Every structure is written in C-alpha cells, then in structure tokens.
C-alpha cells in the first residue's frame, strides 16, 4: 500500500507513472542537457575568442556547433517545457494525473537513450543537417545512429503531445471551460497539435536520408535525379513550426507569471488565446523564409515574405497584452517576475530581428551570417530558456515546499541577463559586417566583437552553475513555502499544499 | 533612486544607444551592413535601414511604456492594482496598426525582389562552381577562360591549427584568394552558380546578393558594380570542414583593364592546355606539384602528408601513392566512389596540373617511387 503511494529508490524513478515524478525527470534531464550543450558552446566561443585556429580543428568545430544546436533544441528546451507541462497541467486543470500515465513514463525514458545515440553519432553537418552534406559527404557508419536518435526523439514528443491533448480535453475539473483554462494550458494544447503535425514530417525527412544512404534511393541525390532542395522544404516544413513549439509554452509561462506579480488579471485573455492559435496556424505556411537564397521562383519568394511578416501581428498583440497587464498593476519584482519581464524585453528584440530577416531582399545580406545567430539566440535563449527559468523559480516552491534563496536568485538573474546580452548583442554587428555562420575562424576585422561575445559567453555559462546550486539547495531546505506562495497567484495549483502531495485532486475540485 | 530603478533607467538608455547606434553609424563597416557598390546593394541597405528605424521606434515606445510602468505601478510605491482586463477597441487598434506598417514595408521590398529576379540583358555571364573547398570560375563569353580560386597561400598557412602565425600579420586574412574574379565596371554581370558536391553559397556583401550553389541546379543572380575596387566575400552555406576557408575576391576594374586581364588569362590557360604533348623535368613537375598539392590536397591529406583528421588517409606511405600508377591516376582523376569527399579532380585540373600533383605525391613525404608522370599519361588515363 505505502509502496504504491510513495515508492522509493531507483525503481521509483524507473517505473513511475506519476506526473510530478515524470515532470521532475524531464526537468533534470533538460538541465543536464542544457549544461552539456552549453559546454559545447563554450568550446565554440573559446575557439572564436581570437582570430586564428588555437584549440580545435575545423571538423571538430563543426561537430561542436551541430551538437550544441541539436542538444539545446531536442535535449534542453523541448524536454524542459514538457517537464513544466507534466508538473503543471494536471495541477492547473484539477486532474489527478495525465491521461496516459504509463505512456508518459515511456515518453521520458526514451530520451536518455536518444541523447546517447545522438552523442555517439557525432554529427558535424549543422543542426539542420542539409543533404547532401549529411548524406553523401558524412561518415556513413554513424549517420544511422543519428537518424535513429531523431526518430526516438520524435516518438517521445508525439507520445507526450497525445498525452497532453487527451488530458486537457478530457480531464478538466467540472466548471473549467476551455476559455477558463490558464493560458499555460492553452499554449500547451496548441503546441501539442503542432508537435503531432510536424514531428512525423521530420521523421519523413530522416527516413528519406536513410534510404538514400543505405538503400539506393535518390530523394536528395542530384546524380540520381533527386533534389537537395526537397530536403530543405521537408526539413523546414517541420523546422518552422518547431521553433513555435519552442516558444508557445514560453508565452504560456510568462502569461502566468506577470499577472501574479502585477496582482492584475491577464489583459485580453481571449485575444491571447486567438493570437496563440493564429501564430500556430501561420507557422505552417512560412517555412521557406529559411530558404530565401536557394533560388525560389519569384512568386514563391514574394508569398513567403508576405506570410512571414504577418506573424509579427499576433506576436505584437501578445507583447502589448503583457504590457497592458503590467500597466496600473501593483507590481513586486521577485525573481520569477524579473525573468518574465526580461523575457518580454529581449524576446521582443529577437522578434524585431525576425521581422528584418523576413524581408526577403534584405535577407540576402543577413542569411547564413551571425545576424541570424543573434536573432535565434534572442528568441531561444533570452526567450524560451529565460521563460523556462522563470517557470522554475515560480513553481519551485510549490514542487519542493521551500522558498529558494531570493538574494542568490537575483544575482543569478542579473548576471544572466547582462552577460547574455554581452554574448549575443554584438553578434548582430558581426552579421551585418559580413561574418558568416558556422565558421571556426574569421578575418581580424571581426575580432573585437567576437572577443566581447566570447567573454559574455564564458560568464553567462559559468553563471548557470549558480542555478544548479540554487535548485539543489532549495530541494534540500530553505524557508517553508505556504500554499499560496505568491500573494497575487491564482489558479488551482495554488490551492494544494507546498510541496504538492504525491497525489493531488484525487477528487475533482469544483471550478466557478 | 533605488538600485532597481537605476538599473532599469540605465538599461533603457543602453537599449536606446544599442538600438540607435547601428542606425547612426550609417556606413560604419563594423557596426552596420555595407551599402555596397551596386544599385541592388543600395536598395537592400535602404530597406534594411527603414525596417531598422521602424523597429527601433516601436521598441523605444513599447519599452518606455514598460519602464514607466515598472517604475510607477509598483506595490512599494503604494500603487493599487486596477481591475481592467480587456478592451476590444484597443485590441483592434494594436492589431491593425502593425498590419498597416507591414503592408507599407512590403511595397519597396517587392520592388527590390522583382529587380533582383530580372536576369535579362546581361553583358557578361560567369559560371561559378563551388566545390569542397574552392570556387571555379568560367567566363561563358570568353572561350577557354576558366580557373580555380583557392584560399591564398599565406592565409592557408596561418589558419592551420596552432600555426603560431598571428592572423593580424596576414593581409586580408581568410579573405584573399590566389586567382580573383575580374569584372568591368558598369556592366550587368550574370552569375551562373553551380556545385559539384554539397551546397555552397556565393556571397560578396558589397555586391548585395548571395545565391546558393546547389548540386544538380544552376542558379542565377546578377549584379552591376558602380564603383571600382576589390570586394571580398565568403562561402555562406555550411559545406564541410573548410566552409570558413573558401573566400571570394572580385576585382571591379575599368573596361580597358578588364580586356587586358582577359587576354592575359587566356594566354596562360592556352599555355597550360597546350602542354599535353610536352615533356617536363622532374624538378619542374615537383615544384608545380608541391604548390598545387598545398592549395588543393593538403587540406585533407596534410602538408607533411599526415592527414588533418583521422577520417582522411595519410598521403605519406599511402598504398595508392606508392602502389600502381594506374590506381593513383584513377583516384585523382575520377575521385573515390566510396568517399565522395575525395572529388574527381579530373574535372577541375588540366593534364599538366594533375601530372604535377601526382608526381609530387609519389615522391614527397618519403614516398620516393621515383615516378615522373607526364601530361600525356594523365590524358590517356581519363
């Protein structure tokens, strides 16, 4: 009896079907991957610290950039959001657990194996692994591991997405209509549909690579009548929705945090839902803006430019709504709020450069330069990752029953925010000045900004160890957290004790 | 002012400076895009600046509102939370206004795209083929004018891992080639862009355009340079280990100078091609072979014959370079079926060049086969 209610030891973690445990597993996995992917980034910034080749040969450098991207996207950001979803969605909708708890366990445990396969395969062809570089000009023996790893990652995501949709649509407490759900739940509902739609497309792309390399097909092989550009179309049909998969949950987290610390309801709830849906829909029809230099027909180039810049509209609506939530609120600036506000500022900057990139004629100068690298790190690091960290600080007291150390947390925040900008803002200049991406060395005219960027990287990277320390010490002890935790917090998760009991909402609450 | 307030104030100034900086520093090469030397590059620069100004203004306004709110609508100042949480009118306004701005942007952007895609009436047509890791130029209107452009030797030496050479002492480090491309000023140049292996991308910022080089396709782009000068660019699509080491150099010169250059180049090409029946001494072949080996083969097989990375085979003591000549010829001319990274160099070099490379490979690094390969032998083996 007690074994079922609160198992212990290795068996607990291997066989758990509890959404809180699985959420914890995802979050620790993601944090580990974040530090691993971050260490690859440190190698990159160390080599780029000065012009000339000092530390690694070009092939190893390409492996570092490739693995940094793959691990951050598939190993850190996506699993972290799934971890937040696992912990929070049942609590937020008043459900006892996820709809399919055993499948939930499998969704997680696939990941460590997928990660190991990915690391073994040592890819060096960019996280976008364009053919034919990845098919005909890469080591054949390790490509199979890479493809298998991508398939496994896809299975995990798809199963997780199914679970999330089933939970949200079927297990909401009585009285919780769709338009009464917390926005975090809405953003995950929509993200889950995106995942189900596009992960199979990625699976298709890598399967076509598999058959091209091992079974004599020519999907992407020009000499066999195939088309390397086809790879790009299929990849980016997945790839563009993928980046929205990585940002929509972030929008959800921030939409929970700002109202709490402004002590004011989220402005324009309905608009926020519609804007999220609009962004998700638009994300399917803009993919070729990653391919503006490929030689698209004029009509295609124009269409994709028009569709791409449209995404600025619902995104701007969201930024305005967060601002309006803050406006004439009664704000306090605990750590989660600091991260959420930093998100709004910095993600907006990333959004601006995204708009610039969407202007096709200008993109001919931006494409494949550090301007793009700066853009996506603003939306992914100071966007998605900052939102994840915000969510961790926000919900950590509920998960652990302890308050984290506010002074240390604020130190972590300021160091991270300042040095993330030192790291990435100069990269805009590098790109505009003409420095291409994915190069291990550069002309001395790019030296100054590279050195500054690298220093930013080293400090930012080291600072994340502080987060590790803060999380561990909070798990182990600290000021006792109340049930409410935050004065302005609203929602079902703030009605259960801190730490949340192993089983919650075994009886569904009534929602007014 | 409290610490937090000060920091927020400072960060808003910093944001303003950083956002305005690029705009103010107009043609400062290190901060902003180059306006370039073509009509297209100027249009691109202008639209870039237009969008940059728009986002800067929007950003400053939105951030100012947020900062004002952060400073004034805080509990510690006694602010009491208001209760409003929706307004259809406001939502409509801040949906429509951005939409209008975007439509306004689309107009000049469309005009420029249409201009870029107009390949008609070119004066000069140059085919550029990307290979791992060099560019080959072929002037389609000048018979026999074809050459390979590699990273310049000084850069190539300095970029070797732990070379000990300070890149700042190398002129135009990583942006210099042994054989630049020449074009006359004021003429419409249409580039035909292809690839022999993986996807590369041909990009010279000053010309305002980049275009991918995709195996199986011939892509086009055009430019008309309005200012004489030397313009440098780089490959802009990850193409393997030396993606960062295959630059582009374009000399824009007067018509007269261009004609002279074409004539001189054609003479050189003819001399090389006409060497098929000639006999060369071992020393001549070794000298030429060493130079070609160092620019073309050493990237993978090593300047000392020891491979740059474990996935490439050594040239020193290589079974092929010390074994049957026929096998060596086949490998160099036709490439490796198993490992396509070992390209079919027969397509890129003439018989004299290949004879020199093979002679060098068979005699250097202690291989010492004593073999001397003449162009005629290479020609027969094709």
Q: Which fold has domain B124-266?
A: Immunoglobulin-like (2.60.40)
Cβ-Cβ contacts under 8 Å, B210 against chain A: 293, 364-365, 367-368
Q: Using 50, 70 and 90 to split pLDDT, how confident is the model at B26? A: very low
Helix (H) or strand (E) holding A35: helix A19-47
CB atoms within 10 A of CB B314: 15
Q: Is there a contact between A327 and B160 if contact means CB atoms under 8 Å apart?
A: no
CA angle A142, A148, A152 (to 5 degrees): 145
Q: What is the pLDDT of residue B28?
A: 39
Token pair, residue B298, equals 């050493």
Q: How far is A119 from chain B (nearest CA, A)?
A: 18
Side-chain-side CA neighbours of residue A27 (13 Å): 24
CATH label of the domain that carries residue A58? 1.20.210.10
Note the pLDDT tens digit of each residue in B183-199.
Answer: 999 999 999 999 999 99
Q: Under 8 Å CB-to-CB from B293, ≥6 apart: which residues? A: B357, B360, B361, B364
Q: Kindly tell me the burial class for residue A37, based on how many C-beta atoms sit within 10 Å of its own C-beta (0-12, 13-18, 19 or more).
A: buried
Q: Is there a contact between A52 and B241 if contact means CB atoms under 8 Å apart?
A: no
Note the pLDDT tens digit of each residue in A118-141.
Answer: 999 999 999 999 999 999 998 888
Q: How many domains does chain A have?
A: 1
Measured distance CA(A323)–CA(A302) in Å, rounded: 33
DSSP string computed for B213-241: E-TT--EEEEEEB-S-EEEEEEE-S--ST
Which of the residue ranges A113-122, A462-471, B337-346 would you say has the lowest mean pLDDT?
A: B337-346
CA angle B58, A264, B68 (to 5 degrees): 35
CB atoms within 10 A of CB A68: 20
Most A CBs within 10 Å, among B28, B94, B235, to test the A interface: B94
Note the pLDDT tens digit of each residue in B210-229.
Answer: 999 999 999 999 999 999 99
Note the pLDDT tens digit of each residue in B78-94.
Answer: 999 999 989 999 999 99
Token pair, residue A414, equals 């300021």
Note the pLDDT tens digit of each residue in B60-79.
Answer: 999 999 999 999 999 999 99
Whether the predicted pLDDT of A150 surpasses 70: yes
Which of the residue ranges A201-205, B337-341, B377-381 would you say has the lowest mean pLDDT?
A: B337-341
Q: What is the pLDDT of residue B12?
A: 63
- Decide: helix, strand or coil at residue B130: strand
Residue tagged active-site, from A20, A172, A221, A318? A318
Q: What is the pLDDT of residue B144?
A: 80
Q: What is the rounded average pLDDT of the residues B302-312?
A: 83
Q: Which residue has the higher pLDDT, B3 or B43?
A: B43
Q: What percentage of chain A carries pLDDT values higher than 90?
A: 97
Residue tagged active-site, from A21, A47, A97, A363? A97
Token pair, residue A425, equals 């803002």
Measured distance CA(B304)–CA(A149) in Å, rounded: 38
Backbone angles phi, psi at B14, to 5 degrees: -60, -45
Q: What is the CA radius of gyration of chain B?
A: 28
Q: What is the pLDDT of residue B27?
A: 38
Whether the predicted pLDDT of B101 surpasses 70: yes
Whether the predicted pLDDT of A2 surpasses 50: no
Contact B223, B208 (CB under 8 A): yes
Q: Is there a contact between B76 and A332 if contact means CB atoms under 8 Å apart?
A: yes
Nearest CA in chain B to A312: B98
Residues paired with B184 in a beta bridge: B253
Residue in the structure block whose two tokens are 């079922």: A4
Contact A340, A258 (CB under 8 A): yes
A328 is catalytic: no
Q: Going along B46-197, which residue ranges are E strands?
A: 124-131, 134-139, 146-149, 181-184, 188-195
A315 is catalytic: yes
Measured distance CA(A203)–CA(A281) in Å, rounded: 21
A437 is catalytic: yes
Token pair, residue A165, equals 């949709």
Note the pLDDT tens digit of each residue in A420-448.
Answer: 999 999 999 999 999 999 999 999 999 99
Q: What is the rounded average pLDDT of the residues B238-249?
A: 97
A326, A367, A447 ranked by CB distance to B73: nearest = A326
Task: Output the CA–CA distances (angstroms, integers) from residue A314 to A217, A352, B37, B215, in the order listed.
Answer: 42, 13, 38, 39
Between 1.10.287.1770, 3.40.50.12780, 3.90.1170.50, 1.10.760.10, what CATH number should domain B278-381 receive?
1.10.760.10
Q: Is there a contact between B161 and A326 if contact means CB atoms under 8 Å apart?
A: no
Most B CBs within 10 Å, among A359, A360, A447, to test the B interface: A359
Residue in the structure block whose two tokens are 């050459």: B147
Q: What percentage of chain A carries pLDDT values higher than 70?
A: 99
Cα–Cα nearest to B315, from B270, B372, B374, B361: B361
First to last CA, chain A: 35
Note the pLDDT tens digit of each residue in B196-213.
Answer: 999 999 999 999 999 999
Q: What is the rounded average pLDDT of the residues B270-288?
A: 87
Contact A341, B210 (CB under 8 A): no
CB atoms within 10 A of CB B259: 12
Measured distance CA(A308)–CA(A314) in Å, rounded: 12
Q: What is the pLDDT of residue A498?
A: 95
B81, B168, B217 ranked by CB distance to A295: nearest = B217
Cβ-Cβ contacts under 8 Å, B245 against chain A: 58, 441
A360, A367, A447 ranked by CB distance to B210: nearest = A367
Cα–Cα nearest to A293, from A218, A372, A349: A372
Strand order in the sheet with B181-184: B181-184, B247-253, B229-235, B200-204, B209-213
Whether the predicted pLDDT of A71 surpasses 60: yes
Cβ-Cβ contacts under 8 Å, B84 against chain A: 267, 328
- Decide: helix, strand or coil at residue B210: strand
Q: What is the pLDDT of residue B269?
A: 84
Q: How far is B371 from chain A (nearest CA, A)?
A: 32
A242 is catalytic: yes
Note the pLDDT tens digit of each residue in A353-400.
Answer: 999 999 999 999 999 999 999 999 999 999 999 999 999 999 999 999
Measured distance CA(A357)–CA(A290) in Å, rounded: 9
Q: For the whole model, what pTM was predicted? A: 0.92
Q: Under 8 Å CB-to-CB from B92, ≥6 apart: which residues? A: none
Note the pLDDT tens digit of each residue in B122-159.
Answer: 999 999 999 999 999 999 999 889 999 999 999 999 99
Domain extent for A238: 19-495
Whether the predicted pLDDT of A84 surpasses 70: yes
A223, A331, A442 ranked by CB distance to B70: nearest = A331
**CB < 8 Å & 24+ apart, contacts of A237-241:** A237/A198, A237/A201, A237/A284, A237/A287, A238/A198, A238/A199, A238/A201, A238/A202, A238/A205, A239/A128, A239/A287, A239/A290, A240/A283, A240/A284, A240/A286, A240/A287, A240/A289, A240/A290, A241/A194, A241/A197, A241/A198, A241/A280, A241/A283, A241/A284
Q: Which 8-state DSSP code applies to residue B206? A: G
A368 is catalytic: no
Note the pLDDT tens digit of each residue in A257-301.
Answer: 999 999 999 999 999 999 999 999 999 999 999 999 999 999 999
The domain limits of chain B are 3-76+85-116, 124-266, 278-381
Counted across chains A and B, CB pairs separated by less than 8 A come out at 303
A503 part of a folded domain: no
A57, A327, A332 ranked by CB distance to B74: nearest = A332
Most B CBs within 10 Å, among A443, A453, A486, to test the B interface: A443
Instruction: Please state the three-class secondary structure of A456-467 as a single string.
Output: HHHHHHHHHHHH
Q: What is the pLDDT of residue A406?
A: 96
Q: What is the rounded average pLDDT of the residues A416-423?
A: 98
Q: Is there a contact between A329 and B94 if contact means CB atoms under 8 Å apart?
A: no
């Amino acid at each position: 009896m007690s074994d079922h209610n609160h198992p212990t030891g290795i068996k607990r973690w291997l066989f758990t079907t509890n959404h809180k445990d699985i959420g914890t597993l995802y979050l620790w996995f993601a944090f580990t991957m974040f530090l691993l992917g971050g260490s690859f980034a440190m190698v990159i910034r160390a080599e780029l610290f000065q012009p000339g080749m000092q530390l690694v040969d070009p092939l190893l450098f390409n492996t570092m950039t490739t693995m940094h991207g793959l691990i951050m996207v598939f190993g850190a950001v996506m699993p972290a959001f799934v971890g937040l979803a696992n912990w929070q969605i049942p609590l937020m909708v008043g459900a006892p657990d996820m709809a399919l708890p055993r499948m939930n366990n499998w969704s997680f445990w696939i990941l460590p194996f997928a990660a190991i396969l990915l690391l073994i395969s040592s890819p060096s062809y960019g996280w976008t692994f364009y053919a034919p570089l990845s098919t005909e000009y890469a080591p054949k023996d390790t490509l199979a591991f890479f493809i298998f790893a991508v398939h496994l990652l896809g299975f995990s995501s798809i199963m997780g997405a199914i679970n999330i949709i089933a939970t949200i649509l079927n297990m909401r407490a009585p009285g919780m209509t769709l338009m009464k759900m917390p926005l975090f739940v809405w953003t995950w509902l929509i993200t889950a549909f995106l995942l189900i739609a596009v992960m199979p497309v990625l699976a298709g792309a890598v399967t076509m690579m598999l058959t091209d390399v091992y079974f004599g097909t020519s999907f992407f092989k020009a000499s066999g009548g195939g088309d390397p550009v086809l790879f790009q179309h299929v990849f980016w049909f997945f790839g563009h929705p993928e980046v929205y998969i990585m940002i929509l949950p972030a929008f959800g987290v921030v939409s929970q945090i700002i109202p709490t610390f402004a002590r004011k309801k989220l402005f324009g709830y309905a608009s926020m839902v519609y804007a999220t849906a609009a962004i998700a829909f638009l994300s399917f029809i803009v993919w070729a803006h990653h391919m503006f230099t490929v030689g698209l027909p004029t009509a295609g180039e124009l269409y994709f430019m028009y569709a791409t810049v449209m995404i600025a509209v619902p995104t701007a609506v969201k930024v305005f709504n967060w601002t309006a939530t803050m406006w004439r609120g009664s704000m306090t600036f605990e750590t989660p709020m600091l991260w959420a506000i930093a998100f709004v500022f910095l993600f907006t900057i990333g959004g601006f450069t995204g708009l610039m990139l969407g202007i096709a004629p200008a993109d001919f100068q931006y494409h494949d330069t550090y301007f793009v690298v700066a853009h996506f790190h603003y939306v992914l690091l100071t966007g998605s990752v900052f939102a994840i960290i915000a969510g961790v600080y926000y919900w950590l007291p509920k998960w652990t029953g302890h308050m984290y150390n506010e002074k240390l947390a604020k130190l972590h925040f300021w160091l991270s925010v300042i040095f993330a900008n030192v790291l990435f803002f100069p990269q805009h200049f590098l790109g505009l000045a003409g420095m291409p991406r994915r190069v291990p060395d550069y002309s001395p005219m790019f030296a100054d900004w590279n050195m500054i960027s690298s220093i930013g990287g080293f400090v930012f990277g080291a600072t994340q160890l502080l987060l590790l320390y803060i999380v561990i010490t909070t798990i182990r002890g600290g000021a006792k957290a109340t049930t409410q935790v935050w004065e302005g917090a609203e929602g079902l998760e703030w009605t259960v004790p801190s730490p949340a009991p192993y089983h919650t909402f075994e009886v569904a609450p009534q929602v007014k | 002012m409290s610490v937090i307030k000060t920091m927020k104030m400072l960060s808003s100034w910093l944001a303003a400076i950083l956002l305005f900086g690029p705009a103010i520093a107009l043609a400062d090469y290190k901060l902003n895009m180059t306006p370039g030397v073509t009509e297209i590059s100027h249009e691109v620069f202008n639209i870039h600046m237009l969008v940059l100004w728009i986002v800067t203004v929007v950003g400053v306004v939105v951030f100012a509102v947020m900062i004002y709110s952060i400073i004034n609508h805080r509990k510690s100042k006694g602010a009491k939370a208001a209760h409003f949480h929706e307004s259809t009118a406001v939502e409509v306004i801040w949906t429509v206004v951005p939409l209008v701005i975007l439509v306004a942007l689309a107009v000049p952007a469309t005009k420029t795209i249409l201009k870029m895609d107009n390949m008609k009436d070119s004066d000069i047509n140059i085919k550029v083929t990307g290979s791992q890791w060099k560019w080959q130029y072929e002037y389609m209107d000048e018979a026999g004018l074809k050459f390979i452009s590699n990273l310049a030797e000084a850069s190539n030496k300095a970029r070797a891992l732990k070379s000990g050479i300070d890149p700042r002492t190398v002129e135009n480090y990583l942006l210099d080639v042994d054989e630049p491309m020449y074009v006359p000023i004021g003429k419409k140049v249409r580039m035909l862009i292809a690839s022999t292996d993986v996807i590369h991308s041909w990009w010279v910022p000053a010309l305002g355009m980049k275009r991918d080089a995709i195996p199986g396709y011939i892509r086009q782009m055009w430019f008309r340079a309005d200012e004489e000068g030397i313009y440098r660019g780089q490959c802009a699509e990850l193409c393997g280990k030396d993606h960062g080491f295959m630059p582009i150099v374009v000399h824009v010169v007067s018509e007269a100078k261009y004609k002279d250059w074409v004539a001189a180049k054609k003479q050189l090409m003819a001399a090389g091609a006409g060497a098929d029946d000639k006999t060369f001494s071992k020393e001549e072949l070794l000298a030429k072979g060493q130079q070609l080996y160092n620019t073309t083969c050493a990237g993978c097989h090593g300047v000392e014959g020891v491979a740059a990375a474990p996935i490439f085979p050594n040239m020193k003591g290589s079974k092929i370079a010390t074994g049957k000549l026929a096998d060596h010829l086949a490998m160099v001319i036709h490439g490796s079926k198993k490992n396509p990274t070992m390209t079919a160099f027969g397509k890129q070099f003439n018989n004299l060049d290949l004879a020199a490379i093979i002679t060098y490979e068979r005699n250097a690094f202690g291989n010492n086969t004593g073999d001397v390969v003449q162009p005629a032998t290479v020609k027969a083996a094709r």
